[in-house]
């Protein structure tokens, strides 16, 4: 019983001693570093070469071949079905959309690092 009382007293003194030790409050602070400008040039729009499409049908195939010969060129036919043309058109639309998406990502990074207003290029070709 005496041991129990002594143990409780020692434990109590130990707790009081720990409570007497001052707990230092930690101060947190932030050092904000200025972002460096990216110095990335904006992509230059593509300047594509115009391609002349000639629609060759069974009714005009001889006329088209004669015209090509008359212009002094050699000819070869590259054919695509109407379903293939739809797929080709869809692929070009997907390419345009991906380019637009990548341009928006570049603008977002530029805005984040350099601040300022974001200029949307939607609808410009």
- Neighbouring C-beta atoms of residue 64, cutoff 10 Å: 15
Predicted pLDDT at 36: 75
The pTM assigned to this predicted structure is: 0.48
Q: What six digits make up the tokens of 74?
A: 């050699």
E strands present in 1-125 = none
Predicted pLDDT at 101: 93
Run means of pLDDT, 10 residues per run, the chain, 125 residues: 71 60 74 76 81 87 88 80 92 93 88 69 51
Predicted pLDDT at 98: 93
CB 44 within 8 A of CB 36: no
Residue whose token pair is 């290029």: 121
CB 44 within 8 A of CB 99: no
Q: Where are the chain's structural domains?
A: 33-114
């Amino acid at each position: 019983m005496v041991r129990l009382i002594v143990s409780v007293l020692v434990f109590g003194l130990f707790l009081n001693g720990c409570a007497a030790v001052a707990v230092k409050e930690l101060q947190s602070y932030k050092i904000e570093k200025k972002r460096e400008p990216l110095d990335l040039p904006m992509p230059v729009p593509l300047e594509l070469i115009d391609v002349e499409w000639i629609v060759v049908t069974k009714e005009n195939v001889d006329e088209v071949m004669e015209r090509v010969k008359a212009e002094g060129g050699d000819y070869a036919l590259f054919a695509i079905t109407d379903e293939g043309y739809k797929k080709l058109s869809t692929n070009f639309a997907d390419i345009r959309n991906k380019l637009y998406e990548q341009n928006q990502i570049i603008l977002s990074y530029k805005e984040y690092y350099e601040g300022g207003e974001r200029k949307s290029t939607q609808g410009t070709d």
